[in-house]
Amino acid sequence: MLLIPCPWCGPRDEIEFGCGGEAHIARPENPDELSDEAWADYLFNRANPKGPFAERWVHSHGCRRWFNVVRDTATNEILAVYEMGAPRPEIGSPPVLASPDESGTTSDGESL
């Protein structure tokens, strides 16, 4: 059973989470303009690499927040954890585990 570092709640058992499959698949802006093939590619086709793989997880039984994980599918090593919307980090450095934000600041930077 994996130990998944939720970017907010900290490391928790896999049973608290749900896996949402491959990350960084954006919904096309204008679906109507896509060919059947392009739409099917968005809808059905997913990568299945052996090695580092960026995927989405949700802390279903915890804070219910989605986040991204880079997991080595061969060893189950978790190589990075990062927020939705953030770009996939370079892998090769040690795991990037976002620590809970104790200051409570958000993107607008206003401090408490």
Enumerate binding residues for other proteins (CB under 8 A): 1-3, 8-10, 12-13, 15-16, 18, 20, 26-27, 31-32, 34, 36, 39-40, 43, 56, 58, 60-66, 75-78, 84-85, 100-112
Sheet containing 78-83: order of strands: 18-22, 52-58, 66-72, 78-83
Of 20 and 52, CB closest to other proteins:
20
Least gap, CB of 81 to other proteins (angstroms): 13
Of 56 and 89, CB closest to other proteins:
56
Cβ-in-10-Å burial (0-12, 13-18, 19+) of 68 comes to buried
- Mapped onto helix, strand or coil, the DSSP state of residue 69 is strand
Least gap, CB of 2 to other proteins (angstroms): 5
Of 56 and 96, CB closest to other proteins:
56
Of 34 and 89, CB closest to other proteins:
34
- Are the C-beta atoms of residues 4 and 57 closer than 8 Å to each other? yes
Q: Rounded CA gap, 9 and 12, in Å?
A: 8
